[in-house]
Amino acid sequence: MSVVPKIEKLSPPAAMPHGTVEVRGQGLGATDSIVPTASVQGLSADVLLSQPGRVILQVPEEAASGPVIVHRQGAESNAVQLRVATLIAENLNPVSNPAIDAAGNVYATFSGPRGQSVPISVIRIDQNQEMKPFARGIMNATGLAFDRTGNLYVSSRHEGTVYRVSPDGATSVYAEGMGVATGIAFDSNGNLYVGDRSGTIFKIAQEDRQIFVFATLEPSVAAYHLAFADDDTLYVTGPTISGHDAINAIDLAGTPRVFYRGLGRPQGLAVAANGDVYVAASLHGRRGIVRVASNGKAEIAASGSGLVGLALRPDGDAVLATNDAVYHLELGVKGRRLA
């Protein structure tokens, strides 16, 4: 008599369309050379691997959040809920984190190849998922960050310049001369930090816009990505040629230390309200959003390819950016509130 399949755990419990999910349980292996099948929200999901206690499936492109069920010799497993990201905007070109304003609108870039201008630099996506141009004329828009008053700051990796864009879209130069300016972030006092991928983290003082060298790190082959925690620890990623890259943590004095090492091509990152760090990276060969807890334990929180960054909302939802689109995901992780 065949064993009825039973699902005990999904790893990770969230995924992008086409992401892979490991199903752990009992009675999941092939019988009489017949591989079990699986479904997500009633849609057939490709089974990439089948063992008695383990199945790896690929999330269908059309799937939304819903139950995962394994089917084996006419028997169905129990249903376990999988959270699936949904597309909210496409035909974009983000290269780092999206940004979210206090009203919940999402901002992402049309970055383009370096040195090549594009008609629109930054797009705004409202809560009805309607896209509207927000900023123009910024060559290779890269990093995005909001200040306390609702102004959006945008770095240009081509010019080494940071622009300030008012809520009505008026653009002005905020600071210049920062090399290959990529990731940007504000500390709790309103000072702006800018990562020059050649190895420098600049600090721009809020009061007089004086520019200081805050810290130096190993140069990146792509970009630096920055995010602050509530205690003003600055977390920085930047892929190198090693393939075994780190998240660096920099204290208030500008002293860096390795917070976690072992990631493949880490890019945009965000710090949750509880202090956990979430980063778009590969872990043990799997691409997705990686959660790194304060105790140094790392795991995939959501699987998916092409991810370059994320933003966490205070309500627990996340906005994920790939290299050509933006997605919404009920990640269940509360983000830090705007200062």
Domain positions in the chain: 6-84, 86-329
pLDDT tens across 100-123, in order? 999 999 999 999 888 888 899 999
Residue 2: pLDDT band by 50, 70, 90 thresholds? low
pLDDT at 19: 97
As a whole number, mean pLDDT of residues 269-283 equals 97
Closest CA to 18 of 338, 305, 271: 305
What is the C-alpha separation between 324 and 27, in angstroms, rounded?
39
Alpha helices by DSSP H, the chain: none
Closest CA to 308 of 319, 298, 293: 319
Q: What does the block give as tokens for 113?
A: 């190849």
What is the C-alpha separation between 86 and 64, in angstroms, rounded?
7
Task: Say if 6-84 and 86-329 have the same CATH topology.
Answer: no
CB contact at 8 A, 303 and 12: yes
Q: What does the block give as tokens for 178?
A: 């920062």
Which pTM does this prediction carry?
0.95
| C-beta neighbour count of 72 within 10 angstroms | 23
pLDDT at 83: 98
Which of the listed CATH numbers 3.30.70.20, 3.30.930.10, 2.120.10.30, 1.20.1560.10 matches domain 86-329?
2.120.10.30
As a whole number, mean pLDDT of residues 54-61 equals 96
What is the C-alpha separation between 251 and 286, in angstroms, rounded?
30
Closest CA to 315 of 330, 301, 303, 300: 330
Q: Domain 6-84, what architecture? A: Sandwich (2.60)
| C-beta neighbour count of 182 within 10 angstroms | 27
| C-beta neighbour count of 248 within 10 angstroms | 21
pLDDT at 44: 97
Q: What does the block give as tokens for 183?
A: 């990731």
Q: What does the block give as tokens for 95?
A: 């290269």
